[in-house]
Amino acid sequence: MKLLNLTSRYFLQLIFAMLLLWCAVFYFSIQSTIYNEIDEYLTFREQEIIQKIKKDKALLNTSTADDRDFYIQEITQKIYDKERIKNPKGFFQDFNKYIPYEGEEEPFRRKQSVLKDREQYYQITTLTNMMNSEDILYTILLDVLVFSLLFFALVMVLNRFILNRLWKPFYHTIGNIKRYRLDKEVQLSYNSSSITEFKELNESIEELIKNNLTAYQNQKHFIENASHEMQTPVGIIHSKIELLIEEPNINKAQAVLIEEISEQIHRLSRLNKTLLLLSKIENNQFPDSSVIQAITVIKKCCDYFKDLLEFKNLSLQWQQQEEMTLTMNEGLAEVLFSNLLKNAIHHNIESGHINISITKKEISISNTGKPLTFDSSLLFERFQKKSDDPQSNGLGLAIVKKICVLYQFDISYSFFNDQHTITIIC
């Protein structure tokens, strides 16, 4: 998930929670205000009725409230004394009352208190319809909810707009880093920002790139120099060994020993060249690319190994031949397919076969052979050898893997029916 989306999500969740809390507080606050107003009205109405009773005792006989907002009931002294102690100022209560002309019940609120007149005891009840009050409350709540949703939507839009502008220098820097390559030595550009953290980020990245570029250049020069310097003494040793072999006074045992030394010198020379090639591939020192036909390069490589195929009595079969166009360095293409063919030849069995299949998107090279003696996930690692062949240095498939990574090819290995298959999807 993007940082912008994550920040927006947390921020909007907080705003939404705050709006819900505010709506709840507002609702109960308005409800409390309405109830206080109603209670004040009922108390005022009660006092008004008491004053009228003093002038007109007939009101004490008002025992029904079908069409009035009050009624009075006669009670015993025991109830009177109890209510005076329990609710000296009276009490309020919500209830539903059936309204005949409406044909339904409606919410009401009443106040009940006790009254004494000439040794007679009464309970006076004042009441009022709360329908209008509830309508007002729900209307206000609906307005508040609509306003809150509009406010929430506005905050979402503004938050997105503000955060996009705020994080623009950051995403510009990320884009630069994605496009940057050490071998190109391109100077990065940064958007100017007044934000301290973004300034520090750009400065840190610039310093890191400078250090990596220096390390890359040092490594590149070291590899080139080391390879050159190693080839010189190896060449001298090789020439000295050839001179030594031509000496007439060498016996058979010494000749065998010199031959073994010569083989190891040859192996060291090949290893040095292979490691240099591997390092150059890793450092992308083959920038020149051209459009090549895969089948042409593979057939050219097959011609290189024609004699070796005949020597090992191996049959080469083309199962499928389609035109595949590759855009890559031609020299690396030859290295790629040469190593695959060399691997299929060296690790084959006597009188075995090699199958090659080329489609528009896929190249498969299969060979007969014994199962691997190690985990197949290590096949493309350096110095993983499938045999004791002294000609193998365990770097061939590592080079193949590096070339595939360089050009973003997918490579896979499988073993089925005594056949090893390496597949490249381009």
The CA-CA-CA angle for residues 73, 77, 80, to 5°, reads 65
Helices (H), 61-130: 77-86
What pLDDT score does 362 carry? 92
How far apart CA 242 and CA 255 sit, in angstroms, is: 11
DSSP state of 360: S
What pLDDT score does 174 carry? 82
Task: Convert the pLDDT of each residue in 383-420 to its tens digit.
Answer: 655 555 555 556 788 889 988 988 889 999 999 888 99
Q: How much of the chain is helix, strand and coil, in % rounded to 5?
A: 60, 20, 25
Per-residue pLDDT band at 152 (split at 50, 70, 90) = confident
Per-residue pLDDT band at 364 (split at 50, 70, 90) = very high
What pLDDT score does 315 carry? 92
How far apart CA 157 and CA 144 sit, in angstroms, is: 20
Task: Convert the pLDDT of each residue in 300-327 to its tens digit.
Answer: 999 989 989 998 999 999 987 888 899 8
CA 17 to chain centre: 26
Mean pLDDT, the chain, integer: 82
Q: What is the C-alpha end-to-end distance of the chain, expressed in Å? A: 30
Q: Tell me the whole-structure pTM to 2 decimals.
A: 0.51
Those residues whose C-beta lies under 8 Å from the C-beta of residue 128, and which sit 6 or more positions away, are 38, 41, 42, 45, 69, 108, 109, 110
What pLDDT score does 134 carry? 67
Under 8 Å between Cβ of 333 and 404? no
